[in-house]
Structure 1
Amino acid sequence: MAAPLSVLIIDSNEENQRLLQTILSFIGEESEHLADLDQVEIITRYKGVLLGEIPPSKALEIVQQHPQLPFVGVCESLDLDAANYLGRLSQPFSYDQLTRLLHQCQSYLSQIGELKDQSQNSYLLKMLVGKGDAIQEVRHLIEQVAGTAASVLILGESGTGKEVVARAVHEMSDRKNGPFVPVNCGAIPPDLLESELFGHEKGAFTGAFAARKGRFELAEGGTLFLDEIGDMPMPMQVKLLRVLQERTFERVGGAKSLHANVRVIAATHQGLEDMIAQGRFREDLFYRLNVFPIETPALREREDDVPLLLQELLARHETMHNATLRFTQRAIESLMLHSWPGNVRELSNLVERLLILHPNKIVDVAELPAKYRHLETEDATMELPSAFAEREALLSIFNDDYGNEKQANTKTAQEPTEDEFDLLSEGFQSSAASALPEEGVNLKDMLAEFEVDMIRQALDQQGGVVARAAEQLGMRRTTLVEKMKKYSLSSKE
């Protein structure tokens, strides 16, 4: 957060204004005076505002319009109910009292800055899912460059989320209120790329029946994202270099120079330095774009992030397909062993495919497509004494966990729907590692172990947050809390 310039005094009483300016000057603070209340919209650049003889209704309106600024009253009758109104100076004014209140103003600004940083961190965590060192480094680089005007070159394999990084840079910059305009340089025919970027005038070429703005004009005041910059033809590279150097361009068929107030972010999966050696990319353009490089890591280099990415991608696709699914621990471990040549895009496609193939089911290694099975599948048909006994045991779990909840909403017997029973049954079967031994088993203990395992998995996947784990398990939070007490399980809450 940039340091504010000075203290603003809003007071129609000239004597008070001169006295306050004298005190502020003595303690080393610069100040400005404003008597015309119609000009108060400019106060966003001050470190604090002293409000003098102003009608209380007008003063409260000013304070509420600028929650990012701290206000102090210098009039005995001014008493406002607002978080950023920090108190009043009593007359006669004293150095000690004014110094103390200005220190409170500085503390308030520091808190606002911390909240802004936390908001940015939350945005980055949502956009760039993962906790490994590689993705943490990407987040750090974004935070470093976002507030500058430097050109950014994003490098990385296809599907690693280069556009996500570009959007994060834009959203954390001072251009976030402007447009973010993406252009895939490889998807536009070379003879149309110039018109696409710079626009054209009416009659500039056959079919140009009207003037048209290009992407540079559409991105005015914001960010232009040039994806796959390595596919840009050499003639267009020359014209792009001129825009980056001079910040001006002309529409195709036009003679008027237009100013480009645009931040350019480029991305490519190709090795631009190798292309320079082959004469396929201009070296001077490369150095113009490569002011601040950010390399997005391949998914195979961040296998520990696969569980978190699965959770995030499921949340994104579940609403679209009106279905959900759950992965067993072995299925997740198998996916973590995959090389992911298509990176996060490939993982997203897999999640969507599984939602279509196995809606509202539990996915084990056997349900994964063959190329994703890196662990041996286990026998999922545990033999109970009879199918009836298995169903009765599962019904027992169902009624213990969900029976009371269903009873609150219906007067029918505690019988699960077929979909609910199938989901419970598949989850139980996937936990079985071998057939029933001849000497028998303690079914009650086995079911308890299965229940504990499912609860632990849900808590681990949800970072120990009980409410989200309960949602994942399909039960109320209070029910899960009781289960955790029963089995002496702990959480991070």
Structure 2
Amino acid sequence: MTQPVLFLHLQDAELTSQLLRSDVVRRFVIYKSQSDQCWVEQLLRQRCDLAFIEVDNTEAAQYELLQQSNRLAEIDFILISKGIPDLAVDHLMRSGAGYHFRQPLDLAAVLDAVQDFYQQLSSVTVKRKVQSSDLDQFGLLVGSSAAMLRLYKTVRKVAVTEANVLIVGESGTGKELVANTLHLASHRADQSFVAINCGALSSELIDSELFGHVKGSFTGALRDHQGVFAQAEHGTLFLDEVTEMPLEQQVKLLRVLESGEYRPVGSDKVCRANVRVIAATNRDPLQAVADGVLREDLYFRLSQFPVKVPALCEREGDISGLAQHFLAYCNAREQQQKQLSDAALTVIRRHSWPGNVRELKHAVERAFILADRLIEPEHLLLERATPGVAADIPADMPLDELEKAAILAALERNGGNKTDTAEQLGISVKTLYNKLEKYQQQR
């Protein structure tokens, strides 16, 4: 096999020296850009397997990068930047799933990424606007903690296989972002990624949503409908909240996974599915099996490769970095220069974040709206634990009444937003609607 070619465009002489001294980089034929020429033009002329680029924030370089981003996305790349908002980099990262490391660099993590490219050069793609921060990024995932770096490594290794993946993690940890990154780093990246929330489907229509239906197959079927298996043909199907799927449909899903065949509602035609299935749940799947809400045989079929997404509290060092990351995005979008005060950052680091990254993102976005220039703790609108709450709960209150009180209180805190309420309570939106309907009938 021909030795792979590495294209280097680095302005940092010390970093260049460190890379060239490493055993990993020595496994490549090195092609270095000429400082007096546009590196984009040189890269497009030079056949290479991996491009290692230090981003130039000049207007001319940004324009050239925007013009050529679609062609550059065909090359595996590692970007180095100072975290300054850069439309050209954002566009390139939406087009291809490489690494984006922000300074100051963890050289070991950078070399690990290069090593992985050496061992398994693969076409990868990303589709997310980058927000300026000091955090590293892989695909749609952002973070520099040890837990996230381990997740990156797991995702990139399983992405290039055809194994079914079961993603497990608390609400708000970014399970759909992991699923999207798995797709974008896979050989199916140029095909569709179709996501469906199993907990939001009515039991009457779930067969149609999964497998499609033909016109006239039931009341209201006014035209043929493609189910998600057909929509995701040759691509990736993401089944979110799979443990909320009714058991009857779990049997049918298992049959498709085992045989690759399904039949649209009302049709006598058997279709063959060519999709990669990724599922996710915020429950403990083994406990879901024990509780009888997830079939054991379906669990084993879905979890050919389980992936655990760390909770925000397990991502040491990422919390304040993510807050700055989300704030920088707001600043770039609104052309502002708002900052977090030291007191606000202290509150952010100490908060438990039960809603994980989603809760943090929403808190920063709310604070950005409320603050003028400097974001203070009061702008974050964080819930504080209320001492003595347990004492206000009658000792003889029935469990269902306690649950009802908790749900209605959460709904009030969220201003009636049912999606946010369901996420905070760790239940599906469908389950929340069912419980609210039950309370309405009890009046």
Question: Is this a same-fold pair by TM over 0.5?
Answer: yes
CA shift at 1:303, angstroms? 4.2
User: For residue 273 of structure 1, what is the aligned residue in structure 2?
Assistant: 286
Of all paired residues, the percent bearing the same amino acid is 42
User: For residue 461 of structure 1, what is the aligned residue in structure 2?
Assistant: none
What residue identity is the alignment partner of 1:337?
R
C-alpha distance in 1 between matches for 2:345 and 2:279: 34
C-alpha distance in 1 between matches for 2:157 and 2:251: 29
Could you say what secondary structure the match of 2:277 adopts?
strand
RMSD over aligned Cα atoms:
3.1
C-alpha distance in 1 between matches for 2:123 and 2:137: 10
What residue identity is the alignment partner of 2:375?
V
Relative to structure 1, is the Cα distance of residues 111 and 367 closer, same or farther in structure 2, using a 3 angstrom cutoff? closer
CA shift at 1:192, angstroms? 0.8
User: For residue 220 of structure 2, what is the aligned residue in structure 1?
Assistant: 207
C-alpha distance in 1 between matches for 2:123 and 2:345: 31
User: For residue 330 of structure 1, what is the aligned residue in structure 2?
Assistant: 343
Relative to structure 1, is the Cα distance of residues 112 and 195 closer, same or farther in structure 2, using a 3 angstrom cutoff? same
User: For residue 440 of structure 2, what is the aligned residue in structure 1?
Assistant: none
Could you say what secondary structure the match of 2:138 adopts?
helix
The answer to whether structure 1 residue 344 and structure 2 residue 354 are counterparts is no
C-alpha distance in 2 between matches for 1:112 and 1:334: 38
Could you say what secondary structure the match of 2:204 adopts?
helix
| Unmatched tracts of structure 1, length 5 or more | 5-63, 70-109, 374-493
Q: 2:326 aligns with which of 291, 310, 313?
A: 313
User: For residue 285 of structure 1, what is the aligned residue in structure 2?
Assistant: 298
Structure showing greater relative contact order (alpha-carbon pairs closer than 8 Å, 6 or more residues apart):
2
Q: 2:377 aligns with which of 337, 343, 365?
A: 365
Counterparts of 1:170-319 in structure 2, within 5 Å, are 170-319=183-332
Relative to structure 1, is the Cα distance of residues 209 and 65 closer, same or farther in structure 2, using a 3 angstrom cutoff? farther
CA shift at 1:188, angstroms? 1.3
CA contact (8 A) 1:127 1:168 kept: yes
Could you say what secondary structure the match of 1:285 adopts?
helix
Deviations 1:387-417 (A, max 9, x none): xxxxxxxxxxxxxxxxxxxxxxxxxxxxxxx
User: For residue 11 of structure 2, what is the aligned residue in structure 1?
Assistant: none
CA shift at 1:370, angstroms? 5.4
What residue identity is the alignment partner of 1:356?
I
Deviations 1:365-385 (A, max 9, x none): 354435379xxxxxxxxxxxx
Instruction: Spell out structure 1 runs of 4+ moving beyond 6 A.
Output: 117-123
CA contact (8 A) 1:228 1:266 kept: yes
| Unmatched tracts of structure 2, length 5 or more | 3-43, 50-113, 131-135, 386-443
User: For residue 10 of structure 1, what is the aligned residue in structure 2?
Assistant: none
Could you say what secondary structure the match of 2:239 adopts?
strand
Could you say what secondary structure the match of 1:153 adopts?
strand
CA contact (8 A) 1:300 1:338 kept: no
C-alpha distance in 2 between matches for 1:148 and 1:112: 15
Q: Which moved more, 1:292-301 or 1:227-236?
A: 292-301
Equivalenced residues, count = 272
C-alpha distance in 2 between matches for 1:309 and 1:372: 21
Deviations 1:289-338 (A, max 9, x none): 01111111111222410122112222333455554421123321220111
Could you say what secondary structure the match of 1:190 adopts?
coil
What residue identity is the alignment partner of 1:355?
F
Counterparts of 1:54-453 in structure 2, within 5 Å, are 67=47, 114=118, 124-125=137-138, 127-321=140-334, 323-359=336-372, 361-369=373-381, 371=383
C-alpha distance in 2 between matches for 1:352 and 1:267: 26
Could you say what secondary structure the match of 2:201 adopts?
coil
C-alpha distance in 1 between matches for 2:47 and 2:256: 39
C-alpha distance in 2 between matches for 1:250 and 1:66: 49
TM (norm. structure 1) is 0.51
C-alpha distance in 1 between matches for 2:268 and 2:48: 45
CA shift at 1:164, angstroms? 0.5
Could you say what secondary structure the match of 2:383 adopts?
helix
C-alpha distance in 2 between matches for 1:231 and 1:167: 21
CA contact (8 A) 2:193 2:237 kept: yes
What residue identity is the alignment partner of 2:277?
V
Deviations 1:224-275 (A, max 9, x none): 0000001000010000001101111111111111111100000000122112
C-alpha distance in 1 between matches for 2:288 and 2:149: 30
Deviations 1:417-465 (A, max 9, x none): xxxxxxxxxxxxxxxxxxxxxxxxxxxxxxxxxxxxxxxxxxxxxxxxx
Q: Which moved more, 1:173-182 or 1:310-319?
A: 310-319
C-alpha distance in 2 between matches for 1:245 and 1:67: 42
Relative to structure 1, is the Cα distance of residues 147 and 214 closer, same or farther in structure 2, using a 3 angstrom cutoff? same
What residue identity is the alignment partner of 2:215?
K
TM (norm. structure 2) is 0.56
Could you say what secondary structure the match of 2:346 adopts?
helix
CA shift at 1:144, angstroms? 1.3
Relative to structure 1, is the Cα distance of residues 130 and 210 closer, same or farther in structure 2, using a 3 angstrom cutoff? same
Could you say what secondary structure the match of 1:266 adopts?
strand
CA contact (8 A) 2:189 2:235 kept: yes
CA contact (8 A) 1:321 1:355 kept: no
C-alpha distance in 1 between matches for 2:206 and 2:368: 38
